[in-house]
Structure 1
């Protein structure tokens, strides 16, 4: 009896958490299908008349389309470069013995915990002086800097789990150290590499602070920052429904990635934590 009661408590608790977390997302989706004049006049959850007008407005707005291209390009480049560097650093930390190895890991963790807001001011001045302000590179560099520590921690735990004998066996068969790393170690650590890439991409895709502070035009402004300047189809109507439609469009890729690769993400996080 206690077991059944305990089970139902967990089920009800899980449902409450699911409703609590999913309701804001569903509310934004419903708002995105409402007509602009319906906000404030229709307090109901569902639209009176469903419309795709807001999504058409979003994709007709140069501010959003250029920001979407910026977010995709910047996030992919930062993820590729960050994971590549993190893989090399994590391998060195896991396999090699050298002075200051623990200090490097501690320093990486300190960077990950450092408040982003405290760096915006100095970066703003520095980027303006050296010409990186309002450029893709001006966002890619800080994205990589903050995404690297988490990727290094995740990947170093994976590399520690891979038996050293497998790399030695590849070298005995004639492979160089680089070939053994590229053809043996990296494929075995693929779940960790994939997890690090997903986490890095999410960090870059969702960033608002750097995007709003280090850009001033649509040349490099990402989507989260561009939404703050979104006005809808005209300046004389409430942009709430259009902003919600834009938010849904931005959220869809993240949801698709999580649904498609949730097993790899969970496996990567749990496996990497076994000996971390």
Structure 2
């Protein structure tokens, strides 16, 4: 009877196991690198900012908070934060308030010309909004909306509304119609059924589309720069772009970096707070079963 002995195999290093970690690290470094550099610039002293060679990791004697204090001392930056928040929140609520019922109507009601309406909504979504600038400027001048929050709220709502309708419609299509039929049997009207039953079930979709609309309104620059010329009504992107130094020869790198950090931080907090809802909204309907 012969016995075979297993020969020990020499196991070499598997380089394929490093591909994924290295790829993830490179993507994170590429994505977070500018953000980290901007934050470090906002807390470094002016000498450390302009020093050659660059100071990548500032020491304790090269850290300062004066850029943030100067930001509020020189300009009413708290007012700019309020302006951006008010315009973004209002336009987002209007998008959801008009977009959700419109999407439900396009999903459940047999409207004449439904395909034409959906095609027009899709075309508007693909249309570059910057091409609407001259037409919107004429309308703002005609209705006298210059230096008025409505000059920003109305365009932001109109631009984000088609995307809201398309996204919400796809979620309404996934809801079982038997649930709505049961609600009607129980005495619910269309409005009460939409408010108490349908919309709570599509909360992840509403959060996802709402955050997309909010980010667009918060970061928009061209309309806010042109339609609002009063300093007290400026939004954060415009105020950050118009920051000046103590003299015409000074470039306020630290103060500008502090303004961008304060302008980005609310969006980061918002996304992290609604992270689960966003993931549910993006992945809902991806697997059917």
Common topology (TM > 0.5)? yes
Partner of residue 78 from structure 2, selected from 54, 65, 71: 65
The CA RMSD over aligned residues, in Å, is: 2.0
Residue aligning to 2:209? 196
Q: Which residue of 2 aligns with 1:46?
A: 57
Residues 83-162 of structure 1 mapped to structure 2, 5 A cutoff: 83-162=96-175
Instruction: Pick the aligned partner of 2:29 from 10, 19, 30.
Output: 19
* Cα displacement (A) at 1:158: 0.9
Query: For 1:273 and 1:225, how far apart are their aligned partners in 2?
Result: 39
Equivalent residue, structure 2, for 1:237: 250
**35-44 or 71-80: which moved more?**
35-44
**Aligned equivalents of 1:85, 1:176: Cα separation in 2:** 19
| Stretch deviating more after TM superposition (240-249 or 226-235) | 226-235
Structure exhibiting the larger radius of gyration computed from Cα positions: 2
* Matches of 2:92 and 2:86, distance apart in 1: 10
Shifted more, 31-40 versus 153-162: the winner is: 31-40
Are 1:191 and 1:267, in contact at CA under 8 Å, matched by a contact in 2? yes
User: In the TM superposition, what is the alpha-carbon distance from 1:57 to its structure 2 partner?
Assistant: 1.0
1:29 aligns to what?
39
1:172 to 185, 190, 202: 185
196, 204, 219: which one aligns with 1:206: 219
Scaled by the length of structure 2, the TM-score of the pair is 0.88
CA offset digits 1:14-48 (Å, max 9, x no partner): 21111001000000001001123433225121235
Q: Deviations over 1:114-165 (max 9, x none)?
A: 2222221222232122211221000001100111111111111111111111
Q: Which moved further from structure 2: 258-267 or 140-149?
A: 258-267
Q: Which runs of 5+ in 2 are unaligned?
A: 1-10
Q: What is the distance in 1 between the residues matched to 2:132 and 2:140? A: 12
d(CA) in 2 for partners of 1:93 and 1:274?
A: 24
Change (3 A) 1:7 1:147: farther
**Secondary structure, aligned partner of 1:39:** helix
Q: Deviations over 1:150-184 (max 9, x none)?
A: 11111111111111111110110111122111111
Partner Cα separation in structure 2 for residue 273 and residue 157 of structure 1? 11
- Structure 1 counterpart SS, 2:152: helix
How many residue pairs match? The answer is: 273
In the alignment, which residue of structure 1 is the partner of 2:229?
216
Distance 1:274 1:136 in 2: 42
- The DSSP-based 3-state class of the residue aligned with 1:147 is helix
